[in-house]
Amino acid sequence: MRASPNALPWLLVSAAVIVLDQLSKAWVLASLPEYTAVPVIDGFWNWYRSYNTGAAFSFLSDAGGWQKWFFMALAFGVSGLLATWLARTPRREWRTALPFALVIGGALGNVIDRLRHGHVVDFIQWHWRDHAWPAFNVADSAIVVGAIGIALFGLLIYVLNLMRELAAAERRLLKLLLVYYRLQQIPTCTLPAPGSGMRDNWWEWLMDHLKDVPGLPPAPDPPKPEPV
């Protein structure tokens, strides 16, 4: 049997995320002033060049420096794990492969920043009146979208599998009801009474009554008698 192609080519999406992330940060470093809001959409969206030594959305940015190595190790570990899962995922399963690839690209994009600058460059700031969301970047966005995709598609796959199981159970139930109905239509269909001489041949009796029922699988072998 021919093996199904795996989902490793989806790593091209990871590469695209890394390239877009690094190009956007190069533009930020060359064009935007530090810690100065440049309005994009008044009252909602600013370009805001800032630096983050923590994780996405400035998580643990105020720690003592150990977080740099921790988040780098975490990013490499998660990326390696997701790449291993991609190698075991069929290529056509985009609902699984695409979120994995987005998370890998985002994680490695921020790792490059930590290696080059010692921190992550953030520049997208959303705000509403006096409340501002922590600044983020393209890599952070890919990580969040990928994580949401993993959760939503994982739930969707679970629901679809559950629906398939319920449909299979419904088909089995309908088949049993059909058998019961057909047996009721046979005038001589009465169970052999104990001591009638037919007790040892009940399996052949049942198969003989069911052989003409449409939609039933071939008759299985009779059960083996229990040892005395």
CB contact burial 46-61 (16+ within 10 A = b; e otherwise): bbbbbbbbbbbebeeb
* Catalytic-labelled residue, pool 21, 62, 140, 208: 140
* Catalytic-labelled residue, pool 122, 208, 212, 221: 122
Supply 53's token pair: 């030594």
DSSP string, 24-92: HHHHHHHHSPBT-EEEEETTTEEEEEEEESSSGGGTTTTS-SHHHHHHHHHHHHHHHHHHHHHHTSBTT
Does 113 qualify as catalytic in the annotation? no
Does 140 qualify as catalytic in the annotation? yes
C-alpha pair distances (Å), 189 with each of 7, 43, 171, 179, 182: 56, 80, 24, 12, 10
- Alpha carbon distance 166, 168 (integer Å): 5
**Residues facing residue 41 across a β-bridge:** 45
Q: With contact defined as beta carbons under 8 Å apart, do 99 and 150 qualify? A: yes
Amino acid at 214: P
Enumerate the active-site residues. 122, 140
